[in-house]
A and B are shown apart, each in its own frame.
Chain A
Amino acid sequence: MINIEHVTKKYGDFIAVNDLSLTVESSEFLVILGPSGCGKSTLLRLINKMIERNDGVVMINGENIDDLKGVELRKTIGYVIQNIGLFPHMNVHKNIATVPRLLKWKEDTIDQRVADMLTLVGLEPSTYKDKKPAQLSGGEAQRIGVARAMASDPAILLMDEPFGAVDPINRLRLQKEFRKIQRKLKKTVVFVTHDTDEALLLADRICIMNKGEIVQVDSPENIVLHPKNDFVKDFFKEEGILTILSRKPAVDYAEPIEVDENPLHKDATMRDVLLKMLTTGQDRVSLSNGSISWDALLQIAGSDVHESE
């Protein structure tokens, strides 16, 4: 758990983070979202003491980070920087082994760990471990960056626009895979982005920032359906609801009514259901475990409205 209490960071007279308080629960995927220059990276770097605060307190698992040496603290927190920053003179194996080596793990433990990490991020260890960063595609490099940050199995991961440099198709795949990994390993993740779709897809909670301050912290549904003010509303526009639907597995909402038609695939989301209705004109779509109707779909999109009103 990370507690950020009344933290302020100034660069000269410029206030980059202003009296900000935020709690990140254990195993939570928290996304910090905001326009460029609003202080997202700064906030992230305050957590692992890459930069010093001017005011306020940061606690990690109940321990004040001021009681810890920066170098030691950072070995226990995974960190993926905005531009990956793989070491160009080291191969993939050595890159991933960085923190385990700093922690003086045994070599054979490290070898095993590197192989596991590569498998985890979907890269074949024997193919990739000897490659140099220059030989990797943008997507592969991002995966290695994530693998490197997780190599020592830190409970907390700080990620600064980790998928920023990947093309849209690979980005979506990486996002989905990473979301799965996070669920499986129950990491506490603080994830910075300025991409609204990415935030809605990944987050347990989204923290919207502007000009060094928090505007709203809430679940993706609530952020889209109940924006606190025009700033948040303008940020998501109307399409936000589509991303919300894409987070909901259709099978979770199936009604036990059989329809005589090919069902949607098992992993289909409510967004796929909506698309099917729009393209075919049907008002009921078949699923592997029943079906779902147009009215039900509307209710699902609106159900959140009733809950929070």
Chain B
Amino acid sequence: MITVKDKTLLLLSSIGAAAFVFLNLIKHKPNRILPGEPYSSFDIFGNIGITLFLVWGVFIVISFVELKHKNQIIFILTTGLLISLFWLLLSNVEALIDGESSARISFSAGFYVQIFCIYMLYSTYTERIKDHTYIKWIGLLSIVGVFYYFTNTDAFSHLSLVKEYAIKKEQFYDHLRIHALLTFASVITGAIIAIPLGILAYSRKKLEDKIMVPLSIIETIPTFALFGVLLVPLAGLGNLPFFEQIGVSGIGWAPAYVALTLYTLLPIGRNTLTGFHSVDRNVIEAAAGMGMSNRQILQKIELPLAFPVIFTGIRIAFIQTIGGAVLAGLVGGGGLGTFVFLGLGEASPDLILLGVLPIVFFTILLDYILRTIEKIIGGMIYD
């Protein structure tokens, strides 16, 4: 009897294969405005396309069998698939464009779904590789290398997304900077407020509900409503000389910053409370029994032991805020959301993607970095 050995692999490779067959890969547009002509994966890749399709097929087969070095094999095949997909795509772009300078290529659902499946496979199986780990680095380096090579090709400049980027280059970096600034400022402010609140909720049992319930309620307020609520007080505040000088008003960065900060309070505050609760009572009892004051117990025992959990809260707040900061674009606060809402207005998917792709990229990157730091901190504290 045939049984599924790896459900994740089966699911992802089935979706990838289906996207390959049934969804359009790209659109060829004569210029920015006109609707384009769709092409499927088979249209673009021709006969070689069968080989790519077969890789998806191989994954499906592998999900039914036990295999030695399975994780490594899947990792290598995934890397190969990703590189070939780009390679073949870009080498066919030139022919489609055929020298027309206003023509452009934009990606369609078939491309994004396959990339998504490849990314999921990638992150799942890199985690699982426990020996021959050098493969991870070879894979990563070859992807980075190949991409670097592509960015310098003519074909690359015909991609609609790249064209949008070329036009908006300066704005792009400004908004990226604002986005990063908003995210960091909100999370840091949030941490400065929520950690003491969490500690207070922990040390004064009576205050626990009075603190945690409002934080939970804030989390449920839709962003639009929150902007609305903040409009009047911030506009009022903006009339005072100092706040006027730094640019506080009912719209702009101020409501975005305040709203994003408010949303970070729950994840950080709740994790602070949980972190403190997770400290072994015996350890606190021993510390008190040796003559440590409450303050010393907090500083030397509870805070360091709770810190990994608090840090997890900060990581969650970061991930949530990078995405949430898109909404700053709604109230003129700047950030990558500006492109998203502009793109929505102009019905230009590539402009939307110019905002969304960096957000996805930085979310993944920051998550990875913060998780790594989390592990290092955990290791320093317990090993």
Q: Is the CB of B291 within 8 A of A74?
A: yes
> What residues of chain B lie closer than 8 Å to A86, measured between beta carbons?
283, 286
**Contact partner, A71, options B283, B286, B291, Cβ 8 Å:** B291
CB-nearest residue of chain A to B305: A89
List CB contacts (< 8 Å) of B246-301 with chain A: 280, 282-293, 296, 301
Q: Is the CB of A89 within 8 A of B382?
A: yes
Q: Is the CB of B290 within 8 A of A84?
A: no
Q: Is the CB of B301 within 8 A of A72?
A: no
**Contact partner, B289, options A50, A72, A132, A135, Cβ 8 Å:** A50
Main SS at interface, chain B: helix
Distance, CA A74 to CA B285, complexed state (A): 12
> If A102-B296, A134-B382 touch, does A88 touch B283 (CB 8 Å cutoff)?
yes
Q: How far is the CB of A58 from chain B (nearest CB, A)?
A: 16
Q: Is the CB of A132 within 8 A of B283?
A: no
A98 within 8 A of B: yes
Q: Is the CB of B280 within 8 A of A85?
A: yes
Distance, CA A50 to CA B286, complexed state (A): 10
B347 within 8 A of A: no
Q: Is the CB of B382 within 8 A of A88?
A: yes
CB-nearest residue of chain A to B285: A81
> What residues of chain A lie closer than 8 Å to B296, measured between beta carbons?
102
> What residues of chain B lie closer than 8 Å to A84, measured between beta carbons?
282, 286
CB-nearest residue of chain B to A133: B382
Most chain B CB within 10 A, of A72, A75, A79, is at A79
B381 within 8 A of A: yes
B238 within 8 A of A: no
Q: How far is the CB of B153 from chain A (nearest CB, A)?
A: 52
Q: How far is the CB of B332 from chain A (nearest CB, A)?
A: 46
Distance, CA A73 to CA B288, complexed state (A): 11
List CB contacts (< 8 Å) of A19-64 with chain B: 48, 50
Chain B window 232-256, contacts with chain A (Cβ cutoff 8 Å), 1 for yes, 0 for no: 0000000000000000000000000
**Contact partner, B282, options A83, A98, A132, Cβ 8 Å:** A83
List CB contacts (< 8 Å) of B300-315 with chain A: 301, 304-305
**Contact partner, B280, options A75, A88, A99, A135, Cβ 8 Å:** A88
> What residues of chain B lie closer than 8 Å to A236, measured between beta carbons?
none
**Contact partner, A102, options B285, B286, B292, B381, Cβ 8 Å:** B292
> What residues of chain B lie closer than 8 Å to A149, measured between beta carbons?
290
> What residues of chain B lie closer than 8 Å to A83, measured between beta carbons?
282
Q: How far is the CB of A285 from chain B (nearest CB, A)?
A: 46
Distance, CA A89 to CA B292, complexed state (A): 16
Q: Is the CB of B305 within 8 A of A81?
A: no
B131 within 8 A of A: no
Chain A window 121-150, contacts with chain B (Cβ cutoff 8 Å), 1 for yes, 0 for no: 000000000001011000000000100110
> What residues of chain B lie closer than 8 Å to A79, measured between beta carbons?
286, 289-290
Distance, CA A85 to CA B292, complexed state (A): 14
Distance, CA A233 to CA B382, complexed state (A): 47
A87 within 8 A of B: yes
Distance, CA A50 to CA B285, complexed state (A): 9
Q: Is the CB of A75 within 8 A of B291?
A: yes
Distance, CA A48 to CA B288, complexed state (A): 10
> What residues of chain A lie closer than 8 Å to B290, measured between beta carbons?
74-75, 79, 98-99, 102, 148-149
**Contact partner, B293, options A71, A87, A98, A135, Cβ 8 Å:** A71
Q: How far is the CB of B63 from chain A (nearest CB, A)?
A: 38
Distance, CA A88 to CA B291, complexed state (A): 18
Distance, CA A145 to CA B290, complexed state (A): 11
**Contact partner, A72, options B283, B291, B383, Cβ 8 Å:** B291
Q: Is the CB of A85 within 8 A of B283?
A: yes
> What residues of chain A lie closer than 8 Å to B305, measured between beta carbons?
88-89
A175 within 8 A of B: no
Q: How far is the CB of A68 from chain B (nearest CB, A)?
A: 11
Distance, CA A218 to CA B260, complexed state (A): 69
Distance, CA A102 to CA B381, complexed state (A): 21
> What residues of chain A lie closer than 8 Å to B382, measured between beta carbons?
88-89, 132, 134
CB-nearest residue of chain A to B308: A89
> What residues of chain A lie closer than 8 Å to B287, measured between beta carbons?
85, 87, 98
Q: How far is the CB of B314 from chain A (nearest CB, A)?
A: 19
Distance, CA A286 to CA B280, complexed state (A): 53
> What residues of chain A lie closer than 8 Å to B289, measured between beta carbons?
48, 50, 74, 79, 81, 85
> What residues of chain A lie closer than 8 Å to B282, measured between beta carbons?
81-85
Q: Is the CB of A102 within 8 A of B291?
A: yes
Q: How far is the CB of A99 from chain B (nearest CB, A)?
A: 5
Distance, CA A73 to CA B289, complexed state (A): 10
Q: Is the CB of B286 within 8 A of A89?
A: no
CB-nearest residue of chain B to A78: B290
Chain A window 85-106, contacts with chain B (Cβ cutoff 8 Å), 1 for yes, 0 for no: 1111100000000110010000
Most chain A CB within 10 A, of B290, B292, B301, is at B290
Chain A window 185-209, contacts with chain B (Cβ cutoff 8 Å), 1 for yes, 0 for no: 0000000000000000000000000
> What residues of chain B lie closer than 8 Å to A99, measured between beta carbons?
290-291
Distance, CA A74 to CA B305, complexed state (A): 23
Q: Is the CB of A89 within 8 A of B304?
A: yes
Q: How far is the CB of B201 from chain A (nearest CB, A)?
A: 23
> What residues of chain A lie closer than 8 Å to B381, measured between beta carbons?
88-89
**Contact partner, B288, options A50, A82, A135, Cβ 8 Å:** A50
> What residues of chain B lie closer than 8 Å to A85, measured between beta carbons?
280, 282-287, 289
Distance, CA A50 to CA B287, complexed state (A): 11
CB-nearest residue of chain A to B279: A88
Most chain A CB within 10 A, of B280, B284, B285, is at B285
Distance, CA A83 to CA B284, complexed state (A): 11
Most chain B CB within 10 A, of A79, A82, A88, A149, is at A88
Query: Closest 5 A-B residue pairs measured CB to CB?
Result: A85-B286, A75-B291, A74-B291, A79-B289, A85-B282
Kindly list 10 other residue pairs between chains A and B, CB separation below 8 angstroms, not including A50-B289, A85-B282: A48-B289, A71-B292, A73-B291, A79-B290, A81-B282, A85-B280, A85-B283, A87-B283, A88-B283, A145-B286
* 19 sampled A-B residue pairs with Cβ under 8 A: A48-B289, A50-B289, A71-B293, A72-B291, A73-B291, A75-B290, A83-B282, A84-B282, A85-B280, A85-B287, A85-B289, A87-B301, A88-B280, A88-B381, A89-B381, A102-B292, A132-B383, A145-B286, A148-B290
